[in-house]
Amino acid sequence: MSSIHLLPEHLVNQIAAGEVVERPASVVKELLENSLDANARHVDVTLVHGGVKLIRVADDGSGIARDDLGLALARHATSKIGSLEDLEAVTTMGFRGEALASIASVARVALRSRRHDARHGSEVRAEGSVVSAPEPAALAPGTSVDVEDLYFNTPARRKFLKTEATEFGHSEEAMRRVALARPDVGFTLVHNGRTQIHLAAGTQQARIAAVLGDEFVAASRVVDAVAGTLRLTGLAALPAFSRASRDSQYFFVNGRFVRDKLLAHAAREAYADILHGSRHPAYALLLEIDPRGVDVNVHPSKIEVRFRDSRAVHQFVYHALARTLAANAGAAGIAGTSAAAMIGVRPSYRDDGRPALQGSLGIAQPQAAYYAMFAAQTAPNAWDTPQAASDPDPGSAGEAGTMRGADAPPLGFALAQLHGVYILAQNATGLVLVDMHAAHERIVYEKLKDGLDAHRIATQALLIPVTFAATRLEVATTEENRDTLAELGFDIAVLSPAALAVRALPSLLAAGEARDLARSVLAEIAEFGATRVLTERRNELLGTMACHAAVRANRSLTLTEMNALLREMEETERSGQCNHGRPTWHQLSLIDLDKLFMRGR
C-alpha cells in the first residue's frame, strides 16, 4: 500500500457521482430541480436512447452569468446557501453544489445559459476534468444542459445500466414526481423524438389528473388540513379505487418527493380503519412544514428526510387523512374510533421516527422465549383452511378449567371477535386483545424471513395465471430480475410489452391478491435494485409481502380459527409487534379492568 495522499478532484467527483448519479433518471431529477430552483415556468426534457446517449434539460429560468458558468460545474459551488443558518432553513431543492460537478465527471456536459438581462448567451463544455472557457452561444433567456454519453469514462458503472426501456421508465417516473409537486410549472418529455409527457401549468387537481389519471381523481377526496405550521394538501383515493395501471403513492415534503416510513405508516394507519379489500391506498399528498422542522440533508439524493418532531408530524398526517376519509367514506362508520383509539393504545413515536416501546397501560409484553415453552398443538394450516370451522373447538368452555394450569397457553382462548378487527381472548391474567390483521401479518413475515434465509420460499403455481396490464417499467423489471423474483418465490411471465401474468406465488401468500402483490414487489425492485432489495431492504420487502397476504379486517373468524391464530402467535418469534412496529396484541389484566371500574380488590 502506498502512503496517504489526497485524491485528485476528478476522482473525488466520480466517487460522489456514484451516489448522486445512479442512472439517467437521477440526472433528469437533478437537472429538473436546478430548473425549479431557477424559478423556471417551463422545462423541456429530451432523451435519446433512454437518456444514455443524451439528456437535455432546457428551462426559461433565471439563467447563469457568463463568468459563473465554469463555477457552476465545480464541486461544492452553489448559489443557494452560504451559511449553516441557511442550510437549516433551506427552501431550494439543491444546496450541496455537487450535482453538476458529479454529472460532468461521468459524462460529456455542455452548459448553455443566458440571463434575462444579457444580450446573448454563453456556453461551457466539460469533458473529464477539463472545463472549457465560456464562448458565445445563441439561446433564449434561460438555461440548457446537455449530458451526453453517460458513463463513457466509467465502464464499470455503464455495465449496471439496464435496458433503454427500463432507464426511460425511471426517467419518466422522476419527471412525474417533480410534475406532481409543481403544478405551476409546465413540462414536456420527449424520448427518441416522440413526445411522451406534455403538461401545461395549472391547478394542483388538474396536474394530479394529468399525471395519475381522471379515474384516480374521480375516486379521491380532497385533503386540506392545517395545524400550526403544518399543512397537508392533495388527493387521497377512497378504498373503492382500483386501477389497472401503476401504484399511486406519492408523498412530498416541501415540494420534494420522499419515501418516508413515518409518513407512509401514518397514511397506512389512516386507511387501516376503512380499507376492506385492497391494502393498497392511493394518494398524492403534499406536506408543508417549516423548513427548520425537517432535515433534508440525510442522503445525497434527498429522498429520505428526518423530522424534528416526528411524533407531531405522524399524528397530524394520520388525523388529517383519517378525518378526510371517514367524512366521505359513508359506510366506514367506525373510522377513527376503533377500540384501540378509545383505550389509548395507538403506538407512539420517538423522535427518531421509530415506534417507542409502547403500552399506555404499562403492561409488559411476554418474551419470545416464554412462548417457546409452550408447544403449540394446532395444525400449522388451520388458519388458512376454511374447513377448520367444523373441527371440534379447542377453545370452548371446557378449557376454562386449564386456564391456570402449567400448560395453559399464554395468550389464552378466544372468546369473540370485535367489529371484525379484534379478537378477544381470556388467559390466566385477564383479557387479551389481538389485532388480527397485525398478528397474522407478523406470522407470515417471520415465516417468509425463515424461508428466504434457507433459500427456499415454497411456491405455489396458480391454476389460472393472473394476467394484468402493466407499465413499461414493470415489464422491463420483470425481464431483468427473473432470478431475484424466483428467489422470492414468484414466476411472472411477460405476455406483451404491456401485460404480465403471475404464474406462481410464494405459497404463504397464495391467499392474497396476486396482481397487487406482484406489482408492489416489482416497484421495490425497480426503485432500489435487486441487490439492495435482497440485502439492506429485505425486511421492508418481506413486510410489504406479508401485509398483502394477511387476513383482512372485517373477515369473520370462527373460534377455531381465532385459537389457531393465537397458537401461531405463541410459536412465532417477536409476534408482540407487527412488522410496521405496531403492537399485535395487548394484555388487560383483571387488575387493570378493576381499576377501570374503580373496584377495590
Any idea which residue has 405496531 for its cell?
582
Q: Which range, of 65-73, 96-104, 150-158, 351-359, touches Mg ion by CB under 5 A?
A: 96-104
187 is a site residue for ligand ADP (CB under 6 A)? no
CB under 5 to 8 A by kind: which of ligand ADP, Mg ion, none does 241 bind?
none
The backbone torsions φ and ψ at residue 423, rounded to the nearest 5 degrees and listed phi first, read -105, 135
Q: Which range, of 72-80, 256-264, 272-280, 390-398, touches ligand ADP by CB under 6 A?
A: 72-80
**In whole angstroms, what is the distance from residue 273 CA to residue 222 CA?**
19
Q: Which range, of 77-85, 215-223, 284-292, 425-433, touches ligand ADP by CB under 6 A?
A: 77-85
Cβ–Cβ < 8 Å for 156, 62: no
The continuous run of DSSP H or E covering 48 comes out as strand 42-48
The backbone torsions φ and ψ at residue 108, rounded to the nearest 5 degrees and listed phi first, read -90, 125
Range 5-64, binding ligand ADP (CB under 6 A): 30, 34-35, 38, 59, 61-64
Identity of the residue, 129 or 496, whose beta carbon is nearer to ligand ADP in the bound complex: 129
Using CB under 6 A, pick the residue from 17, 32, 45, 99 that binds ligand ADP: 99
Q: Which residues contact 341 (CB under 8 A, 6 or more apart)?
A: none
CB under 5 to 8 A by kind: which of Mg ion, ligand ADP, none does 38 bind?
ligand ADP
Any idea which residue has 418474551 for its cell?
367
Using CB atoms within 10 A of its CB, is residue 563 exposed (0-12), middle (13-18) or buried (19+)? buried
Identity of the residue, 72 or 235, whose beta carbon is nearer to ligand ADP in the bound complex: 72
CB under 5 to 8 A by kind: which of ligand ADP, Mg ion, none does 507 bind?
none
586 is written with which cell numbers?
A: 395487548
Range 135-174, binding ligand ADP (CB under 6 A): 143
- Which is nearest to 541 in space by CA: 448, 473, 475? 448
Identity of the residue, 129 or 203, whose beta carbon is nearer to ligand ADP in the bound complex: 129
**In whole angstroms, what is the distance from residue 46 CA to residue 54 CA?**
8
124 is a site residue for ligand ADP (CB under 6 A)? no
Q: Which runs of consecutive H residues, i.e. helices, occur in 6-135? A: 9-20, 24-37, 69-72, 84-88, 99-106
Q: Which range, of 28-36, 158-166, 397-405, 428-436, touches Mg ion by CB under 5 A?
A: 28-36
**In whole angstroms, what is the distance from residue 394 CA to residue 372 CA?**
20
Computed from CA positions of residues 269, 275, 280, 284, in that sequence, does the dihedral angle turn out positive or negative?
negative
99 is a site residue for Mg ion (CB under 5 A)? yes
Using CB under 6 A, pick the residue from 96, 176, 191, 449 that binds ligand ADP: 96
**In whole angstroms, what is the distance from residue 492 CA to residue 476 CA?**
12
Using CB under 5 A, pick the residue from 24, 94, 183, 489 that binds Mg ion: 94
Identity of the residue, 94 or 394, whose beta carbon is nearer to Mg ion in the bound complex: 94
34 is a site residue for Mg ion (CB under 5 A)? yes
Identity of the residue, 29 or 265, whose beta carbon is nearer to ligand ADP in the bound complex: 29
Cβ–Cβ < 8 Å for 105, 17: yes
Distance of closest approach, residue 308 Cβ to Mg ion, in angstroms: 24
Identity of the residue, 303 or 486, whose beta carbon is nearer to Mg ion in the bound complex: 303
- Which is nearest to 151 in space by CA: 22, 2, 12? 22
Distance of closest approach, residue 76 Cβ to Mg ion, in angstroms: 12
Q: Which range, of 86-94, 253-261, 277-285, 365-373, touches Mg ion by CB under 5 A?
A: 86-94
Identity of the residue, 100 or 562, whose beta carbon is nearer to ligand ADP in the bound complex: 100
Q: Which range, of 76-84, 316-324, 418-426, 528-536, touches ligand ADP by CB under 6 A?
A: 76-84
Identity of the residue, 116 or 419, whose beta carbon is nearer to ligand ADP in the bound complex: 116
Identity of the residue, 171 or 324, whose beta carbon is nearer to ligand ADP in the bound complex: 171
**In whole angstroms, what is the distance from residue 16 CA to residue 11 CA?**
9
Any idea which residue has 391454476 for its cell?
463
CB under 5 to 8 A by kind: which of Mg ion, ligand ADP, none does 429 bind?
none
Cβ–Cβ < 8 Å for 321, 236: yes
Q: Which residues contact 566 (CB under 8 A, 6 or more apart)?
A: 409, 411, 412, 413, 414, 423, 425, 432, 434
**In whole angstroms, what is the distance from residue 517 CA to residue 502 CA?**
10
Using CB under 6 A, pick the residue from 79, 233, 278, 426 that binds ligand ADP: 79
80 is a site residue for ligand ADP (CB under 6 A)? yes
Other C-beta atoms closer than 10 Å to the C-beta of 415 total: 15
Distance of closest approach, residue 73 Cβ to ligand ADP, in angstroms: 8
**In whole angstroms, what is the distance from residue 77 CA to residue 75 CA?**
5
The continuous run of DSSP H or E covering 547 comes out as helix 538-549
CB under 5 to 8 A by kind: which of Mg ion, ligand ADP, none does 64 bind?
ligand ADP
Identity of the residue, 147 or 443, whose beta carbon is nearer to Mg ion in the bound complex: 147
**In whole angstroms, what is the distance from residue 514 CA to residue 503 CA?**
9
Q: Which range, of 16-24, 31-39, 353-361, 466-474, touches Mg ion by CB under 5 A?
A: 31-39
Identity of the residue, 8 or 18, whose beta carbon is nearer to Mg ion in the bound complex: 18
Identity of the residue, 102 or 166, whose beta carbon is nearer to ligand ADP in the bound complex: 102
Number of residues that bind Mg ion (CB under 5 A): 3
Identity of the residue, 77 or 431, whose beta carbon is nearer to ligand ADP in the bound complex: 77
Residue nearest to Mg ion (CB): 94
Using CB under 6 A, pick the residue from 12, 53, 87, 97 that binds ligand ADP: 97
531 is written with which cell numbers?
A: 441487490
**In whole angstroms, what is the distance from residue 411 CA to residue 378 CA?**
14
**In whole angstroms, what is the distance from residue 132 CA to residue 209 CA?**
44
**Residues forming the site for ligand ADP (CB under 6 A):** 30, 34-35, 38, 59, 61-64, 72, 77-80, 94-101, 143
